[in-house]
Amino acid sequence: MPDVRHEPAAHRFVAEVEGGVAQLEYQQREGAVAFVHTFVPEEARGQGVGEALVKAGLDWARGEDLGVIPACPFVQAYVEEHADEAADLIQ
């Protein structure tokens, strides 16, 4: 799994991976966070990078007591597949 770091000033979670930087971008709102875009370089796809980014984002949202708006299709698919760990966060 890649080392995911939070860059709050840039409103994103990032991971250095083969081919560049993978990222999960978000927009924070009153009491919620909307995850709006996930990008993983072609060379790193299929290796769990996107999932690691989303998991880090969800863990952060839970720690900040924020609801989650899965605006990005990748995030939406993740929360549907992992409903047992994400259902309490979804708005």
pLDDT digits (tens, 9 = 90+) for 15-25: 999 999 999 99
Taking residues 29-41, report their average pLDDT: 97
Q: What average pLDDT is seen over the chain? A: 96
Q: Which residue has the tokens 């990005």?
A: 72
7, 15 Cβ separation under 8 angstroms: no
Rounded distance, CA 56 to CA 68, Å?
A: 13
Q: What are 10's two structure tokens?
A: 């840039």
| CATH code reported for the domain at 4-86 | 3.40.630.30
For the chain, state the CA radius of gyration: 12
pLDDT at position 85 is 87
For the cut 80, the answer to whether the pLDDT of residue 2 exceeds it is yes
Strand 32-39 vs strand 67-70: parallel, antiparallel, or unpaired?
Answer: parallel
Whether 91 has a pLDDT exceeding 90, the answer reads no
Q: Is the pLDDT of residue 88 over 80?
A: yes
**How many whole angstroms separate alpha carbon 74 and alpha carbon 56?**
14
What is the three-class DSSP state of 11? coil
- pLDDT of 26 over the 90 cut: yes
pLDDT at residue number 27: 98
